[in-house]
Amino acid sequence: MVWAQLLLLAMYLIGSFGLLLVAALHVGDLPAVLDPGVERLGDPKDSLPPVGPYSVWNPLVWVFGLGRVLAMFVYPLAFVTLTLGAVALLQTWRVRDRKAFGRLVVSTGVWCALAVLALTPYGTQLHAWLLD
């Protein structure tokens, strides 16, 4: 379960904050990372991929594209990862697997923090920019 949470987390971070950073670098406005929007950063699709041609054969198109799709669905994704993480936490607690329990606490806690961030004004602004 931990590996799935961490894989989804990595893809989400690439598709949201990675794309945000690339867009800010493309327009030369790094403070726009703190205030994402179409008026400052332009269309998020303009920053795909960060390097190389936009073609099916460029692996960065796939990585950033799939990450962006996951980032668009952050609310249901966070709900699913938190629910499955809580179920896995109960199971590892019952079995008394301290190592797995510790990893699950960290990965589920990171998803909880990410869900809270997504519900803040900054998170909703980032989400609206990614949906454009």
Looking at the chain, the whole-number percentage of residues with pLDDT higher than 70 is 100
Looking at the chain, the whole-number percentage of residues with pLDDT higher than 90 is 78
Interval 40-54 mean pLDDT:
85
Cα gap 73→117, rounded to integer Å: 14
Task: Report whether pLDDT(10) > 80.
Answer: yes
Domain that holds residue 68: 2-131
Contacts of 15 (CB under 8 A, 6+ apart): 64, 65, 66, 67, 68, 69, 70, 71, 130
Interval 20-24 mean pLDDT:
94
In the chain, the number of structural domains is 1
Q: What is the pLDDT of residues 65-120, one digit of tens each?
A: 999 999 999 999 999 999 999 999 999 999 999 999 999 999 999 999 999 999 99
Whether omega before 31 lies within 30 degrees of 0, making that bond cis, reads no
47 near 22, Cβ under 8 Å?
yes
Task: Report whether pLDDT(22) > 90.
Answer: yes
Structure pTM? 0.90
